Amino acid sequence: MRLCVRVNGTSVVRDVPPRLTLADFLREDLRLTGTHLGCEHGVCGACTVLLDGASVRSCIMFAVQADGCDVMTVEALAPPEGPLHPLQDAFRSRHALQCGFCTPGFLVTAYEFLLERHGVTEEEVRETISGNLCRCTGYQGIVEAILLADEKWDR
């Protein structure tokens, strides 16, 4: 099927199998491997991307369902040569990652959450990330990083 989609601001037109997932399209066709695959069941959140500004699990969506949409992946947060996005910087300074496998999903989730909010509470942060799983950090550093990014990110 013909797929026309904008990914991180660039228009892409490809013929894809109808059952190709959005995650596999991003990772394998476009080589945007920042979108990670953990559970592939819509549970862990590692594959989170924004579709027209709203977070979705790209492992349980077909690529063709994104036809005509804007997709944003974690790669769009900062250029390869830097500087880091304030959210990424906050994750670094608060030790909010260890293996880093879950990190793209947390960053995209937090980006959507903070984009139009200021002065968020710890409870709101915890609620927001409750759909993302991390096996390493115990979450405290992630919560602190998102609260710090809320202060530092000039949006």
Chain residues in the site for ligand FES (CB under 6 A): 37-40, 42-47, 57, 59, 97-102, 134-137
Q: Phi, psi at residue 6, to the nearest 5°?
A: -105, 125
| CB of 153 vs ligand FES, minimal distance in Å | 21
Distance CA 56, CA 64 (A): 14
Under 8 Å CB-to-CB from 81, ≥6 apart: which residues? none
Distance CA 107, CA 129 (A): 10
Q: Specify the residue, 27 or 85, whose C-beta has the smaller distance to ligand FES.
A: 27
Q: Specify the residue, 57 or 94, whose C-beta has the smaller distance to ligand FES.
A: 57
Helix (H) or strand (E) holding 88: helix 86-93
| CB of 41 vs ligand FES, minimal distance in Å | 6
| CB of 13 vs ligand FES, minimal distance in Å | 25
Q: Specify the residue, 42 or 153, whose C-beta has the smaller distance to ligand FES.
A: 42
Distance CA 106, CA 130 (A): 10
Q: Specify the residue, 61 or 120, whose C-beta has the smaller distance to ligand FES.
A: 61
